[in-house]
């Protein structure tokens, strides 16, 4: 007898906020078909979708580990592998035991049909050339399971071709979402109970450039979103230095619902390294920009990314990077050892930096910025701020995030949720402590 019960689907998501959003979009498409439903948290599923990242060799390894574990724990389930690693190396993934379907980024739109068609012993590979992703996939996502903040993707892909990066090969060229679709989605999420929305894209500063007959750009979109009734906080995710202009900084400074937080990748403080990376700014541009932001927006959280040990990075190059970091008003840093990405232009670069030196440089950069982070946190003590509390299970404290991207804990106050005004009382291990005002 054939069962007509819907198949339960669970997701394992790796990588950046874009992948978080993409998982919700794929989940929404599956929910829209009567053959599938979302598995409850912790429930055994019939289909597992692993949404992978491929930003480093380590990201690939994490995805493979998750696939192997799911295969071991749920040998009967269909195993679907999507995301950037799936697009970059579909054959490699198809060779892993138990994989039923490898789904490319342009093929996410057909996830229902592809999962249904993946029946045989041999894995199905549904990976179209990335150039096929010519339009933004508009899915009416109305919730972000397990998240307090809603991520909304407004742009995908990238036209820049930095030499270390594989994202143009996994997500194609830049495509923007129609402004009306973004506004409707944000309005829906806000009325569904999300006080904060995070606007993201691979190259969010390119928003609007590809929209025909349109003068929409990122500041105009953000202004329109700030007009959505009930929105309590709007946050911008990572943005390239060259995309931040006076208009954007002034907008953040002028509306307290626009979170005082910029994440601006520096990658290297040496111009010769930046040039070989194919970055379109110089180290002095970054320094001038972050100084301008700090001068215009008091207590703005400014974070950055750094790649240590790019091919040819000398001691002198790295010292220049440390100098830039020392002078910059940063509140946090994500530093990574350079990891060669198969198919990226830098794969062919010689003069590789040994692994132990890369790791040592990562440690030095992180140590330097962790001192800045402590200084930044100390400057918040005594201030009042609005914190969006997240559900913390089984603890005797509540915790959430300030607009300037600091984790705030309320000791002895379990179970808080939503946006609350607090007074900062001191420092926790990596964030702040506070009391309710
Ligand atoms: Fe990873 Fe792809 Fe995001 S490589 S960081 S999931 S764009």
DSSP string of 127-180?
A: ---GGG--S---------TT-SSEEEEEEE--S---TT--HHHHH-S-EE--HH
> What is the per-residue pLDDT for 394?
81
Residue 248 · residue 292 · CB < 8 Å: no
> What is the per-residue pLDDT for 1?
44
Q: Which residues line ligand 1 (CB under 6 A)?
A: 15-16, 18-19, 53-55, 83-84, 167, 170-171, 202
Q: Provide the whole-model pTM.
A: 0.94
Q: In sequence order, which residues have a C-beta less than 8 Å from that of residue 295 and are 6 or more positions away?
A: none
> What is the per-residue pLDDT for 285?
98
Query: How many angstroms is it from 258 CA to the middle of ligand 1?
Result: 25
Shortest-distance atom of ligand 1 to CA 18 = 3
Query: How many angstroms is it from 311 CA to the middle of ligand 1?
Result: 22
> What is the per-residue pLDDT for 391?
81
Q: How far apart are CA 134 and CA 131, in angstroms?
A: 7
Query: How many angstroms is it from 15 CA to the middle of ligand 1?
Result: 5
Burial of 213 (0-12, 13-18, 19+ CB in 10 A): exposed
Q: What share of the chain is helix, strand, coil (3-state, %, to 5)?
A: 35, 25, 40
Residue 276 · residue 349 · CB < 8 Å: yes
Q: How far apart are CA 12 and CA 66, in angstroms?
A: 8
Q: Give the chain's residues under pLDDT 70.
A: 1-3
Q: How far apart are CA 308 and CA 365, in angstroms?
A: 9
- Closest residue by Cα to atom 3, ligand 1, is 16
Query: How many angstroms is it from 247 CA to the middle of ligand 1?
Result: 28
Query: How many angstroms is it from 19 CA to the middle of ligand 1?
Result: 7
Query: How many angstroms is it from 342 CA to the middle of ligand 1?
Result: 15
Shortest-distance atom of ligand 1 to CA 51 = 6
Question: CA 128: distance to chain centroid?
Answer: 24
Shortest-distance atom of ligand 1 to CA 85 = 4
Shortest-distance atom of ligand 1 to CA 84 = 2
Shortest-distance atom of ligand 1 to CA 55 = 4
Residue 225 · residue 182 · CB < 8 Å: yes
Report the length, in residues, of the chain: 437
- The preferred substitution site among 21, 26, 66, 84 for testing ligand 1, maximizing ligand atoms within 8 Å of CB, is 84
Shortest-distance atom of ligand 1 to CA 170 = 2
Quick one: tokens of 189?
A: 């999420």
Q: How far apart are CA 397 and CA 129, in angstroms?
A: 49
Beta bridge partners of 10: 48
> What is the per-residue pLDDT for 3?
54
Q: How far apart are CA 422 and CA 243, in angstroms?
A: 33
- Closest residue by Cα to atom 6, ligand 1, is 53
Query: How many angstroms is it from 101 CA to the middle of ligand 1?
Result: 20
> What is the per-residue pLDDT for 158?
95
Q: How far apart are CA 202 and CA 188, in angstroms?
A: 23
CA distance between the termini of the chain: 62
Shortest-distance atom of ligand 1 to CA 59 = 1
- Closest residue by Cα to atom 7, ligand 1, is 167
**Residue 339 region, left (φ>0) first, then alpha (ψ -120 to 50), else beta?**
beta
Query: How many angstroms is it from 369 CA to the middle of ligand 1?
Result: 24
- The preferred substitution site among 20, 21, 54, 204 for testing ligand 1, maximizing ligand atoms within 8 Å of CB, is 54
Place of tokens 């979170």: 259
Query: How many angstroms is it from 86 CA to the middle of ligand 1?
Result: 11
DSSP labels, 334-378: EEEE----TTSGGGG---PPPHHHHHHHHHHHHHHHHHHHHHHHH
Quick one: tokens of 333?
A: 């840093």
Residue 292 · residue 267 · CB < 8 Å: no
């Amino acid at each position: 007898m054939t069962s007509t019960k819907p198949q339960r689907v669970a997701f394992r998501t790796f990588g950046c906020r874009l992948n978080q959003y993409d998982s919700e979009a794929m989940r929404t498409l599956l929910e829209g078909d009567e053959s599938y439903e979302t598995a409850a948290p912790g429930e055994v599923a019939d289909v597992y979708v692993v949404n992978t990242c491929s930003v480093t060799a380590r990201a690939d390894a994490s995805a493979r580990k998750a696939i192997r574990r799911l295969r071991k724990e749920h040998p009967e389930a269909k195993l679907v592998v999507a995301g950037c690693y799936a697009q970059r190396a579909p054959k490699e993934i198809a060779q892993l035991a138990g994989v039923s379907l490898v789904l490319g980024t342009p093929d996410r739109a057909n996830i229902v049909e592809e999962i249904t068609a993946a029946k045989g012993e041999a894995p199905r590979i549904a990976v179209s050339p990335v150039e096929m992703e010519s339009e933004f996939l508009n899915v009416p996502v109305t919730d972000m399971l397990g998240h307090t903040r809603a991520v909304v993707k407004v742009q995908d892909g990238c036209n820049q071709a930095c030499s270390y990066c594989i994202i143009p090969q996994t997500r194609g060229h830049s495509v923007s979402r129609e402004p009306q679709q973004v506004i409707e989605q944000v309005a829906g999420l806000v009325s569904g109970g999300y006080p904060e929305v995070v606007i993201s894209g691979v190259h969010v500063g390119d928003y609007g450039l590809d929209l025909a007959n349109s003068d929409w750009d990122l500041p105009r979109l953000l202004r329109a979103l700030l007009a959505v009734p009930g929105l309590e906080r709007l946050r911008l995710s990572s943005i390239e230095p060259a995309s931040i202009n006076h208009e954007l900084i002034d907008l953040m400074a002028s509306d307290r619902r626009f979170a005082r937080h910029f994440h601006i990748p520096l990658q290297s403080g040496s111009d010769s390294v930046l040039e070989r990376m194919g970055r379109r700014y110089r180290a002095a541009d970054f320094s001038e920009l972050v100084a301008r932001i700090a001068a215009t927006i008091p207590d703005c959280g400014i974070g950055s990314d750094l790649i240590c040990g790019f091919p040819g990075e000398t001691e002198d190059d790295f010292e220049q990077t440390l100098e830039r970091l020392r002078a910059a008003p940063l509140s946090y840093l994500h530093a990574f050892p350079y990891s060669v990405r198969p198919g990226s232009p830098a794969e062919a670069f010689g003069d590789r930096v040994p692994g132990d030196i890369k790791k040592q440089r990562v440690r030095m950069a992180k140590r330097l910025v962790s001192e800045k982070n402590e200084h930044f946190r100390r400057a918040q003590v005594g201030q009042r701020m609005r914190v969006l509390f997240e559900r913390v299970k089984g603890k005797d404290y509540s915790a959430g995030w300030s607009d300037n991207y600091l984790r705030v804990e309320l000791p002895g106050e379990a179970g808080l949720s939503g946006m609350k005004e607090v007074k900062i009382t001191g420092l926790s291990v990596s964030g702040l402590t506070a009391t309710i005002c």
